């Protein structure tokens, strides 16, 4: 049974520049079949963008998504975990911050993302959330 974030995180997270447009990022997420990307400026983690952010803060806000910058809709990365943090610690941070995904940072650099679904599959494999998270996407 896994006890550390590194055991369940998605490694080698996709990252994008805050200067990229929303459409380019949306296509990258589609092509890679992922629901979140890290926004990195140089080596600094600026935030996280989810598929929901693309819709709520990007498309629904109006304007031209081909010109709107992803950095303008990113959720700021106010909470992170380390790869050697416990799963309990990750869950506690998610609860306290009301977030579903946490960037995993090691030596100041992003090395992964851990999601509430990752935790559910590890901690409560019989739960509905674990079943949904383990299922193949229906694209």
Q: What are phi and psi of 57, to 5 degrees?
A: -90, -20
Distance of alpha carbon 136 from alpha carbon 139, whole angstroms? 9
Average pLDDT, the chain: 89
Record the pTM: 0.85
The topology (CATH level 3) of 5-134 is CBS-domain (3.10.580)
For residue 62, the model assigns a pLDDT of 87
Summarize pLDDT for 73-109 with one digit per residue, the tens.
999 888 999 999 999 999 999 999 999 999 999 999 9
Percent of the chain with pLDDT over 70: 88
Conformational region of residue 119, where left means phi above 0, alpha means psi within -120 to 50, and beta covers everything else: alpha
For residue 89, the model assigns a pLDDT of 96
Q: Count other Cβ atoms within 10 Å, centred on residue 7.
A: 13
Residue 48, SS3 per DSSP: strand
Question: From the centroid of its chain, how far is CA 47?
Answer: 9
Q: What are phi and psi of 5, to 5 degrees?
A: -55, -40
Distance of alpha carbon 19 from alpha carbon 37, whole angstroms? 14
For residue 114, the model assigns a pLDDT of 97
Q: Is there a contact between 112 and 12 (Cβ–Cβ < 8 Å)?
A: yes
Of the candidates 107, 99, 114, 105, which has an alpha carbon nearest to the alpha carbon of residue 2? 114
Taking residues 26-45, what's their average pLDDT?
94
Confidence at 126, pLDDT banded by 50, 70, 90: low
Distance of alpha carbon 105 from alpha carbon 97, whole angstroms? 17
Confidence at 135, pLDDT banded by 50, 70, 90: low
């Amino acid at each position: 049974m896994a006890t550390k974030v590194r055991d369940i995180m998605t490694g080698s997270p996709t990252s994008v520049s805050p200067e990229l447009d929303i459409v380019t990022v949306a296509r990258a997420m589609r092509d890679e079949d992922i629901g979140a990307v890290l926004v990195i400026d140089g080596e600094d983690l600026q935030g996280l963008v989810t598929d929901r952010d693309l819709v709520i803060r990007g498309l629904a806000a109006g304007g031209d998504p081909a010109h709107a910058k992803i950095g303008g809709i990113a959720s700021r990365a106010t909470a992170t975990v380390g790869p050697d943090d416990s799963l309990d610690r990750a869950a506690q941070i998610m609860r306290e911050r009301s977030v579903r995904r946490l960037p995993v940072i090691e030596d100041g650099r992003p090395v992964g993302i851990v999601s509430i679904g990752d935790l559910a599959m590890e901690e409560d494999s019989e739960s509905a959330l674990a079943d949904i998270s383990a299922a193949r996407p229906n694209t």
